Amino acid sequence: MTQTQYLDTPRARLAYVHTPGDGPTVVFLSGYKSDMEGTKAVHLEAWAKARGRAFLRLDYSGHGQSGGAFEDGCIGDWAADAQAVIEHATSGPLILVGSSMGGWIACLLSQRLADVRGFVGIAAAPDFSEDSFWAGFSEAQRAEVMDKGVLYLPSDYGEPYAVTRKLIEDGRENLVLRSPLPMPWPVRLVQGTQDEAVTRETALRLLDHIDSPDLRLSLVKGADHRFSEPENLAQIEASIIDVGG
């Protein structure tokens, strides 16, 4: 296993694992409260190693092995964390692979990084703080998060989600579905029909919104939000190859 390395930034010490190899470097961006030890990240690292491909996985601040408190972070912070690690650890062209919230972060970084060659979105969740959290809150929940600064929501994946006022307000500054989103490279989106965290409507909205000359969405019947069954992992591999990996 490649050794974990660290990058010290003003906000937190950020953990990452970089596997040298041929490019473009495949960069895996994990989801909300997920980390770089997840099934997809570790599997894709092994897959990339076997192919002699450069690969990077990382933990945002407040996630996994990185420093900082989860509740102190927000989309803007986590996108900046990912950008800092990518620019520190890699050089040359990139393929961004974003899972859930990582898909939103990939959309942001696609407009900031110098040499993106492709994007694979796995149950990508752009703008979820506004279109899922805030839109789904009751008036009482909206009042609680704005007045108390945090609202805890039950999760199917462990501890409750802490939704902070900072996350909501910062999310509104980083929305990607309200303005042009040019991606002049191949894009592949994959989405499970049994995903209870991200709807197929979100996937269709992203499909319609991205401006790409080569964009496809695959709906996988029966797949859930984890998208980590062997056949799902094989489809992610195929999508990375398809966009130039």
b vs e for 44-81, b when ≥16 Cβ sit within 10 Å of the residue's Cβ? bbebbbeeebbbbbbbbbbbbbbebeeeebbbbbbbbb
Query: What pLDDT is stored for residue 161 in this prediction?
Result: 80
Asked if the model's pLDDT at residue 113 lies above 90, the reply is: yes
Residue 212: Cβ within 10 Å count: 17
133-158 pLDDT, tens digit each: 999 999 999 999 999 999 998 877 67
* Catalytic residue, candidates 110, 131, 195, 239: 195
Residue 151 resides in a domain: no
Region 157-170: mean pLDDT is 88
25-69 pLDDT, tens digit each: 999 999 998 999 999 999 999 999 999 999 999 999 999 999 999
What is the chain's mean pLDDT, rounded?
Answer: 95
Residue 106 resides in a domain: yes
b vs e for 180-198, b when ≥16 Cβ sit within 10 Å of the residue's Cβ? ebebebbbbbbbbeebebb
**Kind of pairing, strands 5-8 and 13-19?**
antiparallel
Residue 193 resides in a domain: yes
Name the domain count of the chain.
1
The CATH number for 108's domain is: 3.40.50.1820
b vs e for 91-130, b when ≥16 Cβ sit within 10 Å of the residue's Cβ? eebbbbbbbbbbbbbbbbbbeebeebbbbbbbbbbbbbbb
Residue 26 resides in a domain: yes
Residue 32 resides in a domain: yes
Residue 100 a catalytic site member: yes
- Vertex 36 angle, CA 129 and 161, to 5°: 35
Domain extent at residue 59:
5-126+176-242
68-98 pLDDT, tens digit each: 999 999 999 999 999 999 999 999 999 999 9
C-alpha–C-alpha distance, residues 141 and 128, integer Å: 16
* Catalytic residue, candidates 100, 110, 129, 239: 100
Per the DSSP assignment, residues forming a β-bridge with 187 are 119, 215
Query: What pLDDT is stored for residue 82 in this prediction?
Result: 98
* Catalytic residue, candidates 43, 170, 225, 239: 225
Residue 146 resides in a domain: no
Residue 152 resides in a domain: no
Residue 166 resides in a domain: no
